Every structure is written in C-alpha cells, then in structure tokens.
A and B are shown apart, each in its own frame.
Chain A
Amino acid sequence: MADNKDTIPAPLTSEQRRKVLLGMAAAPALMVPGVSFGNAQFPTAKVNTTKLAVTDTEVIVGQLHSATGTMAISETGSIQAEQLAIDQINAMGGILGRKIKVIKEDGASDWPTFAEKSKKLLVNDKVACVFGCWTSASRKAVLPVFEKENGLLYYPTFYEGLEQSKNVIYTGQEATQQIIWGLDWASKEKKAKTYFLIGSDYIWPRTSMKIARKHIESVGKLGSVVGEEYYPLGHTNFNSLINKIKVAKPDCIFAAVVGGSNVAFYKQLKAAGITGAKQFLLTLSVTEDEMLGVGGENFAGFYSSMKYFQSLDNANNKAFVEAFKKAYGPKSVIGDVTQAGYLGPWLWKAAVEKAGSFDVDKVVAASPGIELKTAPEGYVKLHENHHLWSKARIAQGQPDGTFKVVAESAELIEPNPFPKGYQ
C-alpha cells in the first residue's frame, strides 16, 4: 500500500484507507500497479447504473479546454496537468480496475462552442466526468448543460464565487479565500492603510474588488480605498492610471488585471518608476504562467496571492514538478491553475472509490469530505459546498521570473462562495 506513496499522490480518504487496509487480507492484489482486479469486485452493472461510458476495462472521461484561440496560452497548463494526473492514475491501475480514457474537445476560446462540446461529451459520449473550462464565461455557458444532463465538471480556475452547483467541483480558490487573508497580511506585515484597486472589466475582478473594498472599509477595518479602476479586457495603455496612482500614493496597489493587459501594465509601471523596490503591490492574477509574458524584471519585488506556487518546498510538490517537467519539458512552468487542474482527476478518483460507483449522483454524494493528503499544495479537503479547503499564500516575484513564498496561512481557509457581509 505504502510503496508508491512517495512519488505519487495517494488520494484516499483516511476512512477509505482504513477500509482498504482492513480488506488487504481478502484482496492482496489491491492497488498493485498494472493489475486489473476490479471487474470481479466491481462489476460494470453495479458501478454504472446510469449508462455512462464505462466498460469492464475502461472508463471514458471528457476534457474540455481551449486548445486554440486567445485562451489557449492559459489553458494549456491545465490540459497538461489533467493529462499527467490521468496517466499517473492509469499507471497505478486506474479506477475500480478500469483505465481512464480521455476524449479531448476544443472549446476554442468561444463560449457557445464550450456549450456545444459539453453537450456532445455528456449526451453523445456519456463521459463519466469532465475536466475543463477556465474562464468564468465558459463555465457559465456549460453550467446549464451540466445541470440539465446531470454531468460532473471539475473546474480548476480561481474564480469569483457566487456559485455552487451540484454538478461542479471547484478545485481553485473562490474569491474570499484568495483575497481576505492576503489583505490582512498586507495590513499587518506591510502596514498598508490606503489601497488602490485595479481590475480588468469583467465579473471576476469586479466581484473580487467588491469583496476587497468591503473587507478594507467595513469588515476588516484595514484602512481606506483611495481609487478603484477597471479597464476593458485587452486594454494596453495604462498611462492615465499610472498618473492616478502617482497622485493617490496608495500604500498598496491591489490588482486583478488579466491576459495581455498584464504585460502592458507591469511594463508601464516599471517605465514610470513604480517598481517593487519602491511600491507595495499585491495581485490576484499573476502566476508562473503570466510571469512568462510579463517578465521577471518587470514584476520583481511585487507580490502575488495564490494557493500554489511552483517553488513550494515540500516533497509532494517536488515530485509533481519533476513529473511535470519530465512529461512536458524542462522549461515548462506550473502555475496555480495548473496545480488545481492536477487535483481534479485525483479528487474524482477518491470520490469514485469512496462511492464504489461511477454514477454521478453517488460520486457527488461521496465528494464532500474527500481529502488529498499529498497534493502538491499540501493537504486539501473538499467542503460540502464543493470548493476546496486550502491554504492561502503570498509570494514575491524574483528577477529570474520565479516566486519566493514569503507567507502562508497557518490554517486551511474555509471556502465561502456566498460570503455574508460582503454582498
């Protein structure tokens, strides 16, 4: 049982582990890599009562990301991480004795295409679950389909919250997990009293800044907001914003600028002399992936609030990073969402094994309380509201483009997609 734990996460709940250990005498071959054992123990008729694409040897899952279009750069990491997890699970013998087979569909950065493809995966291919989506817009487009067809979606991106569906497991942070602890840290460690909020103009930054403002002004009483600005997606001219920042002189710039705007934003900040050495800046939207475009020299000294950084110093993460680089090249980087994507198949595996079934209703029922003890980000647990309990972390950008973790919450932070007092 414990043999391959050091290199591969073993996402069993403790309860389940106990059961497995107890059953070891009866089924000695259990969990030995490569041995197909499940079909006698888990007959297809029993583990699949809802006509999913599950055979005696195989279970088919869907993967729905943008492989083309403007989002491809961001989503590629998730595609790779999910595939890596699935390959690792298959190498361990699969789930309930069945190998996972993936049907890949391309959402093409186009929300209606996401809806069409999700319907195809659920209705035509009868996949047991889907790993996919990245932007909120794509998730909103597929959500009615998943609810109508009773599918199961593992969604990896940190997002705005305000959503909780029976048919979705959210493996990224929701807004309060990412924001509140970070702001408290800024107030305590950096003595920030005045905050300037900046975001791209869509639902995630808007909601995040709404929560930030409430926390700064009333709930956490950290100080005051001296500016709040939004720019259209793809906006690249931040000169007027920089002038406003110079006038307002905030202790903390709190930013959620996304995509190509990020590159222009940090370059222009640096050109205007606002650098990490002189100004405290905390962002919600720069991971290792964005860093590639922004450039370490432009982001050096600024801080990012995420739950995962590639440089996290623990054995699980080292094994994960090594496996990822082995699969996708030594230059590949792993951002927060990539790691969250990696958790999806493992969480699903644990839930299926706990339920003893691939049926969506049973997997969903088994999901709350699922733990991954050896996830790269550390111990995580699935909350009843389908989000993960996870730690919050702050890391500082280095000139070479890596992140140095400078702070970490002591406890797991409870996910709270509908925060009271922040509406």
Chain B
Amino acid sequence: MDAFKSWIARSGTGSILLLALLIVVVFPLTMDIFRLNLVGKYLTYAFVAVGLVMLWGYGGILSLGQGVFFGLGGYMMAMFLKLEASDPEATKIQSTPGIPDFMDWNQLTELPLWWEPFRHLPLALIAVVAVPMVLAFIISFAMFKRRVGGVYFAIITQAVALILTVLIIGQQGYTGGVNGITDLRTLLGWDIRSDSAKYVLYFVNAGLLIGVIALCRWIQMSKLGTLLLAMRDKEDRVRFSGYDVAMFKVFAFVLAAGISAIGGAMFTLQVGFMSPSFVGIVPSIEMVIFAAVGGRMSLVGAVYGALLVNFGKTYFSESAPDLWLFLMAALFIGVVLAFPNGLAGLYESHVKPWFARRKAPKAAPAAVEPPAAPPPSPSQKSAPPAALPGGVQGQSA
C-alpha cells in the first residue's frame, strides 16, 4: 500500500487524473458546444506546450520554432480533408474540377504528384506524425552532431519557422498561400462541422492529450528521462560517461515535434482550416509562453498554461476589444515577475507547503487514510532542478 502510494505520488498520476477529470468531465458538463470547441482548440496548443516541457524543461533545449511542427501536422491533415472536399461534383464550377479551389485559381490543371498520397486517410495520418518528425530529425541531427546548442539552436529554429512560412506563402498554387487551406468539410463522409462531431473530436483530442502526457511522464520516470535531465544540467559529464549526447537531444527534439504535430492535426479537425499564421515565429514564441506560464518543468502545468493564456485572450478580447492586448501583456509580465516558474512553480512554492502545514498536525492518522485528501498529488509538478524528481534511482545503472 505504501509502495503504491509513493508510486502514485512520484509518478504524478494524481495530478494527471485530476487534469483528465477536468477536461473530460467538468468542461463538457459546464460548457456549451461553442465554448467547448474553443477549449478543444486551446488543448491543441497544449500538445505543443507539453512537447516543450520535454524539450525545454527536461532537455534544456529551447526551440522557438515549434509552430513549424504544429503547422506541418495541421497541413498534412488539411490536405487530406481538402482533397475530400474537392470532389469533382463540388468543384464543377472550376476550370479543372476535382482539384482544390486554390490550385484552380493559380492555373494549376492537375493535382501535383506529392498531393496524391493525401487521398488516403491512413497515409495522411502517418504523414501527420512522420513528416514533422523526419524534418525535426534532419534539423536536429545536423545541429546537435555539430554541437550547436543553446541560443544558436533557438535562432536556427526561428529561421526554419521563417523559411517555412515564406515557402508556404510563396508557393500558393500548391499550399493555398496566405489564405491557407480553408473550407474543410468532411472526414470520410462524416461532417466535422456538426455539433455532434465537435463533441467527438473534443473527446478524441482530450484522450490523445492525456495519452501523450502519460507517455511523457513515463519517459521522464525512465532512465531516459533521467539522462535528459543530467544532460541539461551537466552535458559534458554525461558525454564523458560514454553517452551519445547528440542523439539524446535529437530524440527529445523529434519527440516534441511529433507531439506538436498531433496537436496541429487535431487543430485542423476542430477549427476547420489551417493557415501559415501558425507556422511563423510569432505563434511559435506564443507557444513557448504557454509552457512558461504553466511552468516549464510540469507536463500538467503546461496544459493549464495553454488554457489560462488562451482563456485570457478570448475573454479579454471579447470584453475589452480596445484594450485586450495590454491586458494580455499585463498577464505575461505579472506571471513572469510574480512566479518565474509558472503556475506549477506557484503550486510548489505556495499551495504545497500550505497543504503540508495543514496536514502536519495530524500526520499520524493520515498515514492510515487513503491518499484521496489533497487534490493534486504532490511532487510530480516541477521539482526544481536541484532536487531531481522521479526516477533518480535509475541513475545508478
């Protein structure tokens, strides 16, 4: 029993379950479909933030180009949906029926060869994850093998984001240009714009997010996670211990890219279009802000960060259309000044000690009771770098 309890506490299962409860039960029960669909959209950004926790919080690699992978995942999905929406019947008004409308506007007369695989859902789904991961592998392999890191790597990721934006906008006959890929309707004949579809997609999205968090938590608790942490804090020592540091970094980068891409694909499904405005530098930095607000060491915190920032954005812009940018800025500055470790840091430094103080006097009976009492189980969220969390034991191996 005690062993189980300590495992629960160490693994952070409690806080993950609490998050799951919130997004799978509480939100759907308390919100109408319009708001729920918005939350679904925010949760797709949370994928990127979770990826950043693995990459930046654990791996110590700051990427300012995660929008690239989010966008690519979204575009892969959008290409499939667009082809389905562009059947010859629906596009008979065009000079070449059967191709996406923006191709017709750009005088293309047949579907480019590289679009062909996206006629098939399985291939498209594979591409959603595979294409961003392969790109991430190429970029990170080239950089990390040459021991490019830190701020230089961050700049290169920004450059990649810029390059991809320019490429997408410039090749509008093939990509839809600035407008992006719009007017997506059905997935295998199933109308994704209907309310029932929005519910289903919301739950698929929530399930995937919880799954991804569990996977990341599992990685964090494994030897691999410990190595990532060690690498972040003392890269040379890990290298001298005989580990191929570069490949571990590549792993972290590719992992984060794959996770972001899933978020991108879910975004396209729930919002109904994809545009280059998600690929660029600004959205990429915004996504880093989500992770920073939530706390970059905490997987669950990253989700709360994404939710909080986006709720703020929607709420402020609806209630004060003239002032909302200032209010958002105030929120960011406030968070960074007041709790530099984000929401999770706030929890660690204030909420947890408070619980501990309340628990302390009756410590003896508490040992007998089941561990249900304090909502999120401690210790998972953002152990400060000094005290290594989770599976530190693995280090001896």
Query: Which residues of A are interface residues toward B (Cβ below 8 A)?
Result: 67-68, 104-106, 108, 110-113, 115-117, 119-120, 123-124, 135-137, 140-141, 143-145, 148, 160, 162, 201-203, 206-207, 210, 232-233, 418, 423
Contacts and interface: CB of A to CB of B under 8 A. Distances in A.
B278 interface: yes
A104 B321 contact: yes
B322 A143 contact: no
Interface stretch (B176-184, B211-219, B342-350, B377-385): B176-184
A117 to B, nearest CB: 8
Nearest to A148: B193
B313 to A, nearest CB: 9
Contacts of A120: 34, 318
- Interface size on B, as a range, is 35 or more
Scoring A111, A113, A115 by chain B CB atoms within 10 A of each residue's CB, the highest score goes to A111
Contacts, number: 97
Nearest to B183: A144
B317 interface: yes
Contacts of B318: 105, 120
Contacts of B169: 201-202, 232-233
Nearest to B101: A162
Contacts of A135: 178
Interface of B: 34, 37-38, 41, 93, 95, 101-102, 105-107, 166, 169-170, 172, 177-180, 182-185, 193, 271-273, 275, 277-278, 314, 317-318, 321-322, 324-325
Contacts of B38: 116
B272 A137 contact: no
Nearest to A161: B105
Interface majority SS on A: helix, strand, loop or mixed? helix
B172 A203 contact: yes
Nearest to A104: B321
Given A115-B271, A120-B34, A144-B193, A136 B105 contact: no
Contact of A106 (B102, B272, B317): B317
B277 to A, nearest CB: 6
B106 A206 contact: yes
A111 to B, nearest CB: 5
B118 to A, nearest CB: 20
A111 B176 CA distance: 14
B321 A203 contact: no
B273 A144 contact: yes
B321 A106 contact: yes
B355 to A, nearest CB: 37
Contact of B277 (A67, A110, A117, A203): A110
B326 to A, nearest CB: 10
Nearest to B316: A106
Given A105-B318, A143-B183, A144-B183, A203 B105 contact: yes
A203 B179 contact: yes
Contacts of A117: 317
A344 B19 CA distance: 46
A67 B322 contact: yes
Given A203-B172, A232-B169, A140 B34 contact: no
Contacts of A137: 178-180, 275
Contacts of B182: 140-141, 143-144
A141 B273 contact: yes
Contacts of B95: 423
B172 A206 contact: yes
Contacts of A141: 179-180, 182, 273, 275
Nearest to B34: A123
